[in-house]
Amino acid sequence: MFKKKKGLILSLTVASSILLATGCSDSTSGKDSGSGKDNSLPAVGATIYKFDDNFMSYVRRAMETSADGKAKLMLNDSQNDQAKQIEQVDTLIAKGAKSLAINLVDPKAAQTIIDKAKPKNIPVIFFNKEPDASVLKGYDKAYYVGTTSSESGVLQGQLIAKAWEANKDKYDKNKDGKLQYVLLKGEPGHPDAEARTKFAVDTVKEKGIQVEELAMDTAMWDATKATEKMDAWLAKYSDKIEFVIANNDGMALGAVASLEKAGYFSGDKFMPVVGVDAIPEALEMIEKGKMVGTVLNDAKNQGKATIELATNAANGKDVLDGTEWKLDDNKAVRVPYIEITKDNIQVGKDAYK
């Protein structure tokens, strides 16, 4: 395609560009968003526990959009490795970050982050994974942006109860009046996983519905792992399963993939599946009738709030200055959840515009 001499130079130039582009999003060096053109913008150092997490990919996109023209965002993929994240924080501080926005790999590591930031008077905004309240109270420049973990479980439980009552003749395969379920759990010990698991089932019980747990296991928020778990459960329990509850949409989508392989969602063969997050892929499954519903975990506003607080902090302002957010008694901004079904699916879609 190219003449030899000019082609060689051009090929080397392209190769160099690719290497540079790759380096910009490297998990150690980070990615500068909306910042390269203006060094006067405040530097915000950020980490996300894992870039390829379904939900966090949308939070990341919202962060990058919100930072554009307002902050020099140095964004890092911690690759689900807490030791790597600690190293990244050291690098961000050395690079001159004026505030830190941290999506912890392990919530227990929050104090270690504070111990690095506090001596240099650098504010820290934790987001999505909530540290212990005592850690936030121990540093006057530490805050949290996220949700109330129990709320998503309660809303998911209400969604399950309504769906069961409305479709009991169809869902109750063995006609014993009990809801037999399997549950795909997120990361053990994660506040959201523990709260969603407990409050979803407790809420169903509070509605007067008898339940029986056939199986529960962690799929670590991961669609592929969820497919593997669902494959095994279908082999073991088959038609005894009457409901699939997933702590997030990624795992719900993994369950749907397994169910499709087993012939579900074709003809009269159906399985109700619910998740949490309302990511676009899950909304599509709801529209197709392959998921009953989900709970909107507002990625757009979590990312937006995180950057707004972190930018204010980096500029030496009150973190809430010029924003719509409020802090609760635990120094946390709580972004509300919303139940999503086919009836109000546009609400979910609007959250990703």
Query: Which of 16-20, 147-151, 255-259 has the weakest average pLDDT?
Result: 16-20
Q: How far apart (Å, rounded) are the C-alpha atoms in residues 220 and 209? A: 28
| Rounded average pLDDT over 140-148 | 97
| CA pseudo-torsion sign 114, 118, 119, 120 | positive
**What structural domains does the chain harbor?**
24-147+298-335 (3.40.50.2300), 150-296 (3.40.50.2300)
Residues 97 and 115: their CA atoms lie apart, in Å, by: 15
Instruction: Give mean pLDDT, residues 109-121.
Output: 98
- Over residues 161-209, the pLDDT tens digits come to 999 999 999 999 999 999 999 999 999 988 899 999 999 999 999 999 9
- Using DSSP, state whether 346 is helix, strand or coil: helix
- For residue 323, what is the DSSP state? S
The share of the chain scoring above pLDDT 70, in percent, equals: 89
What pLDDT does 34 receive?
44
Residue 184 parent element (H or E): strand 178-185
Running DSSP on this structure, what letter comes out for residue 132? Answer: P
The whole-number average pLDDT for the span 78-96 is 98
Please give the backbone phi and psi of residue 172, each rounded to the nearest 5 degrees, phi first: -80, 85
- Are 2 and 11 in contact by the 8 Å Cβ rule? The answer is yes
What are 290-302's pLDDT values in tens digits?
999 999 999 999 9
Q: Is the pLDDT of residue 16 over 90?
A: no
Q: Which residues of 4-23 are buried (b: 16+ CB within 10 A; e: fewer)?
A: eeeeeeeeeeeeeeeeeeee
Q: Are 43 and 97 in contact (CB under 8 A)?
A: yes
Q: Which residues contact 350 (CB under 8 A, 6 or more apart)?
A: none
Residue 2 has pLDDT above 80, yes or no: no
